[in-house]
């Protein structure tokens, strides 16, 4: 039998329909892969029994020819999505043991469509991080290794590091992520897979543990652009329980994948050409531009003048919203309680004990910028610059249909690097944060390797609600790059 | 950023920090605030703050109860509960 874990979601659906294998066999193959790759620490909780039960039901539907759109497809769920009766931690000690009594809207859509949940994937604590080194449940290891013969353990990126590593290592066929400032796109780039963050409001945030409510947006990871579109088809849609969820039609995100790029205008923002950018990334970007040209697209130079202010804007708005959202963790209704002499001491002890260092840092910044006397100087100022950043994109999109940029300023780095200074870590998101601030959709597609054999992604950004064009360009890029993305090849070479 | 400010903010954020954490945060918060202060260079005269990127009016619904009636599900994750209530230490003398 073929290696079931190497199939794409599209291939697996075809194989299930033609009864080449069963959903139970497909699920069992992935459960085995998870067990053999525990060292990656990609999952916080395995839901093996539940997965096998779901697969069995899926097989019954295939037997009666009543299969669903994602029937029998084994997925990983970022442990930021509340899943009914399954521990949901957000990677934090403060939520250890928390079992939601409800299912997030996005995961309920995936269940409605027949998918199988293998477990909850590891992440940076409360999705705050770019390396998956802030989880209370330990670091996630990237399945890719440098080809230098060394055996350095690399980060998978963050915050959705477990979701990205699990898909790259073939522990699941796809996974959910959330992206606040790059938490889907940057790990997708580091792990050599596709990851899409749709337009803010496309996927419901209901039941997703909140970090920064005006920026958070669920999205998908998969090994191909088409698979990521199939997942997004299921995850999207209006939800009255999320007041910022858009009440607009969801297109079939796979419908334009085979459409030619002829006449499409692809913008290249000059501000993304940064000083000190590694030559590998600069070269790959140029290669991407050439590929797009040969596909018939027109390349247009555009300017996003406020790009350099996106990170400082983000590091006011996101912590401010986080400090407010995380005020709910007080040891009263759920999660950890560290008792003190009175209720105030209980709050303070619980939060100090339950939150990790990065989360405390961001709560502190957020509380400071929202406190009396500083609110206008920091928070309101940041919201004003946010408008200017958003207007930059509006103007650029008068001249082009999508933008093509690098996803991240480096390939995956070793665990422990960039930890000495928080700002160094924040700079990982320099290319992903601006679109987050503007609420625009974006995706990372693997496009090449650096000199050390590590995957690098290119980012495609689009207009609001135009994920279809992003996926169309992503699909072409993927075909043009024609990469052999198998992390175990470099790993065995290194060993 | 000084230690007194860190202590004041930690109290507002309801965080019991150790002396060591306070010292570290004096430096780190100072650096981060220094980094975000570059926004001062941007001319934002006559620019309206942008609070939401979604171009939709927040929907209103009828003010009626649409959910509830399951105290056991609400309390199932409580650190301490009794007779359908969350239990905390005494707050009124």
- Number of residues written out for chain B: 93
- pLDDT given for residue B54 in this prediction: 79
Confidence of residue A495 (pLDDT cuts 50, 70, 90): very low
Asked if A309's CB is within 8 angstroms of B39's CB, the reply is yes
If you measure CA to CA, which chain A residue comes closest to B24?
A361
The pair phi, psi for residue A178, each rounded to 5°, is -135, 150
Query: By mean pLDDT, which of A2-6, A130-134, A251-255 is the weakest?
Result: A2-6
C-alpha A263 chain-centroid distance: 30
pLDDT(A491) > 90: no
Q: Give the number of other Cβ atoms within 10 Å of residue A148's Cβ.
A: 12
- DSSP H helices, A355-486, are 357-370, 375, 381-399, 422-426, 433-437, 467-481
pLDDT(A379) > 70: yes
- pLDDT given for residue A489 in this prediction: 65
Over residues A15-29, the mean pLDDT reads: 98
Confidence of residue A2 (pLDDT cuts 50, 70, 90): low
Q: Give the number of other Cβ atoms within 10 Å of residue B27's Cβ.
A: 12
Over residues A459-463, the mean pLDDT reads: 98
pLDDT in single tens digits along all 93 residues of chain B: 999 999 999 999 999 999 999 999 999 999 999 999 999 999 999 999 998 887 778 888 899 999 999 999 999 999 999 999 999 998 887
- Between residues 57 and 76 of chain A, which touch chain B (CB distance below 8 Å)? none
Phi-psi region of B66 (alpha: psi -120 to 50; beta: other; left: phi over 0): alpha
If you measure CA to CA, which chain B residue comes closest to A324?
B13
Cβ pair A41, A138 in contact under 8 A? yes
pLDDT(A243) > 80: yes
Cβ pair A347, A300 in contact under 8 A? no
Q: What is the pLDDT of residues A80-139, one digit of tens each?
A: 999 999 999 999 999 999 999 999 999 999 999 999 999 999 999 999 999 999 999 999
Helix %, strand %, coil % for chain B, to 5?
Answer: 40, 5, 55
Asked if A438's CB is within 8 angstroms of B21's CB, the reply is no
Asked if A336's CB is within 8 angstroms of B79's CB, the reply is yes
Over residues A460-478, the mean pLDDT reads: 98
A271 exposed, middle or buried (CB, 10 Å; 0-12, 13-18, 19+)?
middle
Mean pLDDT of all residues in chain B? 94
Asked if A352's CB is within 8 angstroms of B31's CB, the reply is no
ipTM of predicted assembly, 2 dp = 0.96
- pLDDT given for residue A224 in this prediction: 98
- pLDDT given for residue A326 in this prediction: 98
pLDDT(A249) > 90: yes
Cβ pair A59, A66 in contact under 8 A? no
Q: What is the pLDDT of residues B50-74, one digit of tens each?
A: 988 877 788 888 999 999 999 999 9
Q: Beta strands A265-269 and B81-82: pairing type? A: unpaired
Sequence-separated (6 or more) residues with CB below 8 Å from residue A418: A131, A424, A425, A428
Sequence-separated (6 or more) residues with CB below 8 Å from residue B85: none
Over residues A165-177, the mean pLDDT reads: 98
Distance CA A267, CA A370 (A): 37
Q: Which helix (H) or strand (E) holds B11?
A: helix B3-12
User: Shortest Cα distance from B19 to chain A (angstroms)?
Assistant: 12
Sequence-separated (6 or more) residues with CB below 8 Å from residue A276: none
What is the set of active-site residues of A?
78, 159, 183
Three-state DSSP at B29 gives helix
Asked if B51's CB is within 8 angstroms of A383's CB, the reply is yes
Distance CA A447, CA A400 (A): 21
Confidence of residue A182 (pLDDT cuts 50, 70, 90): very high
Please tell me which of the candidates A98, A214, A311 has its beta carbon nearest to residue B77.
Answer: A98
For residue B86 the two structure tokens come to 């969350």
Interface probe, candidates B14, B17, B40, chain A, greatest A C-beta count within 10 A: B14
Q: Which helix (H) or strand (E) holds A288?
A: helix A279-294
- pLDDT given for residue A418 in this prediction: 86
Q: Does A262 touch chain B (CB under 8 A)?
A: no
Asked if B15's CB is within 8 angstroms of A385's CB, the reply is no
Confidence of residue A492 (pLDDT cuts 50, 70, 90): very low
Interface probe, candidates B15, B25, B60, B74, chain A, greatest A C-beta count within 10 A: B15
Q: Which residues of A touch B2 (CB under 8 A)?
A: none
A275 exposed, middle or buried (CB, 10 Å; 0-12, 13-18, 19+)?
exposed
If you measure CA to CA, which chain B residue comes closest to A98?
B77
- pLDDT given for residue B33 in this prediction: 95
Q: Which residues of B touch A311 (CB under 8 A)?
A: 35
Measured N-to-C along each axis, helices A48-63 and A23-36 cross at an angle, to the nearest 10 degrees, of 160
Confidence of residue A493 (pLDDT cuts 50, 70, 90): very low
- pLDDT given for residue A490 in this prediction: 54
pLDDT(A232) > 80: yes
Mean pLDDT of all residues in chain A? 96
Q: What is the pLDDT of residues A393-447, one digit of tens each?
A: 999 999 999 999 999 999 999 999 888 888 888 888 999 999 999 999 999 999 9
Q: Give the number of other Cβ atoms within 10 Å of residue A267's Cβ.
A: 23
Over residues A363-373, the mean pLDDT reads: 96
Q: What is the pLDDT of residues A183-226, one digit of tens each?
A: 999 999 999 999 999 999 999 999 999 999 999 999 999 999 99
Distance CA B80, CA A344 (A): 17
pLDDT(A257) > 60: yes
Against a cut of 0.95, is the pTM above it?
Answer: yes
Asked if A214's CB is within 8 angstroms of B36's CB, the reply is no
Please tell me which of the candidates A200, A337, A386 has its beta carbon nearest to residue B79.
Answer: A337
| Count of CA atoms in the C-beta half-sphere (13 A) of B72 | 0
User: Shortest Cα distance from B64 to chain A (angstroms)?
Assistant: 14
- pLDDT given for residue A425 in this prediction: 86
Three-state DSSP at A211 gives coil
């Amino acid at each position: 039998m073929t290696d079931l874990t190497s199939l794409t979601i599209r291939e697996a659906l075809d194989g299930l329909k033609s009864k080449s294998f069963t959903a139970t066999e497909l699920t069992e193959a992935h459960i085995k892969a998870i067990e053999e790759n525990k060292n990656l620490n990609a999952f916080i909780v395995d839901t093996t029994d539940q997965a096998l039960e779901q697969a069995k039901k899926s097989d019954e539907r295939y037997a009666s020819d009543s299969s669903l759109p994602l029937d029998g497809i084994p997925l990983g769920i970022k442990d930021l999505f509340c899943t009914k009766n399954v521990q949901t931690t957000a990677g934090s000690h403060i939520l250890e043991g928390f079992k939601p009594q409800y299912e997030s809207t996005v995961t309920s859509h995936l269940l409605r469509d027949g998918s199988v949940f293998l477990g909850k994937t590891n992440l940076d604590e409360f999705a705050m991080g770019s390396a998956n080194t802030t989880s209370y449940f330990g670091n996630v290891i990237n399945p890719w290794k440098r080809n230098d013969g060394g055996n350095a353990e690399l980060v998978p990126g963050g915050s959705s590091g477990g979701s990205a590593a699990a898909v790259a290592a073939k522990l699941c066929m796809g996974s959910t992520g959330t992206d606040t400032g790059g938490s889907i796109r940057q790990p997708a780039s580091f792990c050599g897979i596709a990851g899409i963050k749709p337009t803010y409001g496309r996927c419901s945030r209901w039941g997703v543990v909140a970090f920064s409510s005006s920026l958070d947006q669920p999205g998908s990871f998969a090994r191909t652009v088409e698979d990521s579109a199939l997942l997004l088809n299921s995850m999207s849609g209006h939800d009255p329980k999320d007041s910022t969820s858009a009440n607009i039609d969801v297109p079939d995100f796979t419908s334009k994948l085979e459409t030619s790029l002829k006449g499409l205008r692809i913008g290249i923002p000059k501000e993304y050409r940064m000083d000190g950018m590694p030559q590998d990334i600069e070269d790959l970007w140029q290669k991407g531009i050439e590929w797009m040209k040969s596909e018939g697209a027109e390349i247009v130079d555009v300017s996003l003048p406020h790009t350099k202010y996106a990170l400082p804007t983000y590091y006011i708005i996101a912590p401010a919203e986080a400090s407010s959202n995380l005020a709910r963790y007080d040891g009263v209704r759920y999660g950890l309680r560290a008792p003190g002499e009175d209720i105030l001491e209980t709050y303070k002890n619980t939060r100090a004990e339950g939150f990790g260092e990065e989360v405390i840092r961001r709560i502190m910044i957020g509380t400071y910028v929202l406190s009396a006397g500083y609110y206008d100087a920091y928070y309101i100022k940041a919201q004003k610059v946010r408008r200017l950043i958003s207007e930059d994109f509006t103007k650029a999109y008068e001249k082009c249909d999508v933008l093509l940029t690098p996803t991240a300023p480096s390939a995956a780095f070793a665990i422990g690097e960039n930890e000495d200074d928080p700002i160094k870590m924040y700079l990982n998101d320099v290319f992903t944060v601006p679109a987050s601030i503007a609420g625009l959709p974006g995706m990372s597609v693997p496009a090449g390797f650096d000199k050390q054999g590590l995957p690098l992604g290119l980012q495609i950004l689009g207009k609001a609600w135009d994920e279809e064009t992003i996926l169309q360009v992503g699909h072409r890029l993927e075909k043009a790059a024609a990469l052999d993305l198998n992390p175990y090849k470099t790993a065995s070479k290194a060993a | 950023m000084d230690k007194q400010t860190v202590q004041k903010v930690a109290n507002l954020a309801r965080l019991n920090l150790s002396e060591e954490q306070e010292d570290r945060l004096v430096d780190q918060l100072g650096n981060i605030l220094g980094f975000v202060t570059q926004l001062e260079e941007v001319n934002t005269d006559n620019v309206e703050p942008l609070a939401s990127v979604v171009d939709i009016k927040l929907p209103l619904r009828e003010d009626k109860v649409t959910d509830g009636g399951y105290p056991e599900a609400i309390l199932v994750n409580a650190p301490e509960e009794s007779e359908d209530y969350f239990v905390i230490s005494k707050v009124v003398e």
